[in-house]
Amino acid sequence: MKITAIETIRLQQHPNVLMARVITDDGITGLGETFFGAEAVEADIHARIAGEILGQDPTRIEFLNAKMRPYAGFGSTGAEMRALSMIDVALWDIAAKSMQCPLHDLLGGATRTSIPVYNTCAGPHYVSQTAAVRPDNFGTRASDDNGSYEDLDGFLKHPLDLAASLLDMGISSMKIWPFDFAQGAVDGIDISVDDLNTALRPFEQIRAKFGDKMRLKAELHGLWSLNAARKICAALEPIGMDWVEDPIWMDRTEQIGELAASTSVPLAGGETLATLGQFSALMDVGKIATPIMDVVWAGGITAARKIAVLAEARGRPIAFHDCSGPVTLAVSTHLALSQTNVREQEFTRGFYYGWYGDFVENLPPIRQGMISAPIGNGHGLELKPGIAKRDDVSIRISKL
């Protein structure tokens, strides 16, 4: 079996999403995906990666991962690493399909049949047009959605209704980011008492109403200085947080370690990092309680398996990031089911019940707050029939 073509697919309606099909002479195709910087990633796939892997045996995944690795200076989660990551995912999909087994069987087998989800409380239009993670791109258009899950608007205006809705679905863990709307978030140097108290209210209200029925996570998006992050963590301590995520920019590993030593709130983060070295430093120097790895940003399944082992060796859980596309969710679920040190899997119900169906069929089933792997071989997802005929589709192919 050899790789004969790589096809990339973009939709104008969803400019942050890039899909890729790796096609073989045996008729088996693998589906990969990444999120953010779609045009730059697409260019790297066809200008650099295609020349490295066309004609190669797709089941030599470790070998091909090394061939696709960018120059050491580009070892972050930039375009080159995202291109590698999504093609790596497609190669694992091919390998599992060729052996006629689900992906988690190639990863050592499932340790359980399902795992709890936690909801990242974004709406269906969250960061949908550009990669800017800031309030003017948060896409709260509740009036346009006819009952879809506009959960970002929910945590800002109706946090108790939002928490009740999640609990009704069997989801008992949620993540919100009201601190992003503080005036001090513009430069992150400090946060005012008024803004701090305003951002605390959704957490306080949910805890007062629902007690320990709902686990609460705070996302800070790396916006704050060490001094401001200390104030925020200190204010969140009495609430009993599950974790505080990305409290400062996550490459400042020594400062993360200082923050971890000064608060009882568990810290989480790392989705913007890549390479084994960065994750080792995050745990050993940054003392992060839960490293978070994005499989389509940080090196694919090949890297995810190794980073999970790094965490396990240090007695820590690992979490797989998903506030992006459907393939990422499916692959992360397979990984979560195959690892013993994963507690729950992130998902965004506004995406899952919203635009995921524009791209794929056979999403991972979610029932009563538990997610399972899709039925079928590989990671289980295939492109939606007819996607190539959409008026807004852009397709590019590199062939052997």
pLDDT tens track for 5-58: 999 999 999 999 999 999 999 999 999 999 999 999 999 999 999 999 999 999
Q: What is the rounded average pLDDT of the residues 337-348?
A: 98
Q: Is the pLDDT of residue 134 over 90?
A: no
Quick one: pLDDT at residue 72? 66
Question: Please, which residues have CB within 8 angstroms of residue 173's CB and are 6 or more apart in sequence?
Answer: 116, 117, 118, 119, 214, 215, 216, 217, 242, 344
CA distance 79 to 300: 13
Q: Percentage of the chain with pLDDT > 70? A: 98
Q: Percentage of the chain with pLDDT > 90? A: 91
Q: Is the pLDDT of residue 145 over 70?
A: no
Quick one: pLDDT at residue 141? 60
Site of tokens 């679920």: 333
Tokens of residue 395, six digits: 């397709």
pLDDT tens track for 186-232: 999 999 999 999 999 999 999 999 999 999 999 999 999 999 999 99
Question: Please, which residues have CB within 8 angstroms of residue 47's CB and are 6 or more apart in sequence?
Answer: none
Question: Please, which residues have CB within 8 angstroms of residue 391's CB and are 6 or more apart in sequence?
Answer: none
pLDDT tens track for 70-123: 886 667 889 999 999 999 999 999 999 999 999 999 999 999 999 999 999 999
Q: Is the pLDDT of residue 236 over 80?
A: yes
pLDDT tens track for 270-299: 999 999 999 999 999 999 999 999 999 999
Quick one: pLDDT at residue 136? 78
Quick one: pLDDT at residue 146? 54
Set out the domains of the chain in order of their start, with CATH numbers.
Answer: 3-100+383-399 (3.30.390.10), 105-378 (3.20.20.120)
pLDDT tens track for 241-263: 999 999 999 989 999 999 999 99
Average pLDDT, the chain: 95
Quick one: pLDDT at residue 143? 44
Q: Is the pLDDT of residue 372 over 90?
A: yes
